[in-house]
Amino acid sequence: MATKSFKQATEGAQDIYEQMARGGAQPKQDTEDRQDTRDTKDTKKEYYRFNLKMPMEYKDYLQEAAYRASSPTKTITITEYICNLIAADMEERSNE
């Protein structure tokens, strides 16, 4: 197997580099700023972030529990699973 030198490997690209330098190779692109609209349904909510140190067996349990709580169309993350547990506990305590 013969190895190519850098010059040989980039030979075909040189024309493209020259065209780009002259401003001719790249098509004009829309440069209008656009907001990323993924995951923006909860943008008005405030969130509390904290670190949580747990034994490793809790991690394994939480991964399995989140997987079991997921459906074919919606994957539940560990964070969502914990939030759901807290919401259920809050609702139960408000009924006491």
List of E strands, 1-96: none
pTM: 0.52
Q: pLDDT by residue (tens digit) across 36-65?
A: 556 556 567 888 888 889 999 999 999 999
Instruction: Give the length of the chain.
Output: 96
In this structure, is residue 61 part of a structural domain? yes
In a domain, 72, yes or no: yes
Question: How far is 70 from 61, CA to CA, in rounded Å?
Answer: 14
The answer to whether position 66 is within a domain reads yes
Among 79, 54, 59, smallest CA distance to 69 is for: 79
- Domain span at residue 85 reads 50-96
Provide the number of structural domains found in the chain: 1
13 inside domain = no
Does some domain include residue 75?
Answer: yes
Is residue 5, in this structure, part of any structural domain at all?
A: no
**What is the pLDDT at residue 12?**
63
